[in-house]
Amino acid sequence: MTGALSTTAGGRRGAVAHEVAEVVGTRRVGAYQHLTLVAPGAADLARPGQFVALAVGDESSATLLRRSFSIHRVTPTGGDGTSATGLGTVEIVVSAVGPGTRWITSRQPGDTVDVIGPLGQAFPLPTDPTSCVLVGGGYGSAPLFWLAEALRERGCHVELVLGAASEDRLFGVDEARRSGDGVTITTDDGSAGHRGWVSDVLPGIIERTSAGMVYGCGPMGMLRSITDIAAAHGAVAQVAVEESMACGVGVCMTCVMPVVGSDGRTRMVRSCVEGPVFRGDAVRWDAFEGGHCRVPDDAVGAPRVGGH
Ligand X SMILES: Cc1cc2nc3c(=O)[nH]c(=O)nc-3n(C[C@H](O)[C@H](O)[C@H](O)COP(=O)(O)OP(=O)(O)OC[C@H]3O[C@@H](n4cnc5c(N)ncnc54)[C@H](O)[C@@H]3O)c2cc1C
By CB under 8 A, the residues from 79 to 118 that bind a copy of itself are 99, 103
Contact letters for a copy of itself, residues 25-64 (x by CB under 8 A): --------------------------------x--xxxx-
Which of 57-65's residues contact partners 24+ apart within 8 Å by CB, and which partners? 57/103, 63/99, 63/100, 63/103, 65/100, 65/245, 65/246, 65/247
Task: Choose which of 19, 48, 139, 256 interacts with ligand X (CB under 6 A).
Answer: 139
Q: Could you tell which of a copy of itself, ligand FES, other proteins, none binds residue 84, using a CB distance below 5 to 8 A set by kind?
A: none
Minimum distance from CB of 102 to other proteins (Å)? 14
Distances, alpha carbon 50 to alpha carbons 17, 136, 157, 255, in Å: 13, 15, 22, 15
Report the alpha-carbon distance of residue 10 to residue 16 in Å, rounded.
Answer: 7
Closer of 72 and 267 to ligand X (Cβ): 72
Site for other proteins in 219-248 (CB under 8 A): 243-244, 246-247
Residue choice 255, 257, 259, 299 for contact with ligand FES (CB under 6 A)? 255
Largest pairwise CA distance in the chain: 67
Out of 88, 100, 117, 280, name the contact with ligand X by CB under 6 A. Answer: 100
* Chain center to CA of 70: 4
The site partner of 142 among ligand FES, other proteins, a copy of itself, none (C-beta below 5 to 8 Å per kind) is none
| Cα distance between residue 119 and residue 121, in whole Å | 7
95 binds, among ligand X, a copy of itself, other proteins, none (CB under 5 to 8 A by kind): ligand X
Q: Could you give the C-alpha distances from 171 to 78, 144, 158, 177, in angstroms and in order?
A: 29, 10, 18, 12
Evaluate whether 210 touches 131 at the Cβ level (below 8 Å).
yes
Choosing from 87, 223, 257, 272, the residue that interacts with ligand FES (CB under 6 A) is 272
Work out the number of other CB atoms within 10 angstroms of the CB of residue 179.
21
Cα four-point dihedral sign 131, 242, 44, 250: negative
The H-or-E segment that residue 176 falls in is helix 173-179
Site for other proteins in 109-148 (CB under 8 A): 114, 116
> Which residue lies nearer to other proteins by CB, 35 or 256?
256
| Gyration radius (Cα) of the chain, Å | 19
Strand partners, 23: 37
181 φ/ψ sector (left φ>0, alpha ψ -120 to 50, else beta): alpha
Query: How many residues are recorded in the chain?
Result: 308
Nearer to a copy of itself, 7 or 61 (CB): 61
217 annotated as ligand-binding = no
**Which residues contact other proteins (rule: CB under 8 A)?**
1, 7, 9, 12-16, 18, 55, 59-60, 62-66, 114, 116, 243-244, 246-247, 249-257, 267-268, 273, 287, 291-295, 299-303, 307-308
**Which residues contact ligand FES (rule: CB under 6 A)?**
245-248, 250-255, 270, 272
**Which residues contact a copy of itself (rule: CB under 8 A)?**
57, 60-63, 99, 103
Q: Which residues are annotated as part of the binding site for FAD?
A: 100-101
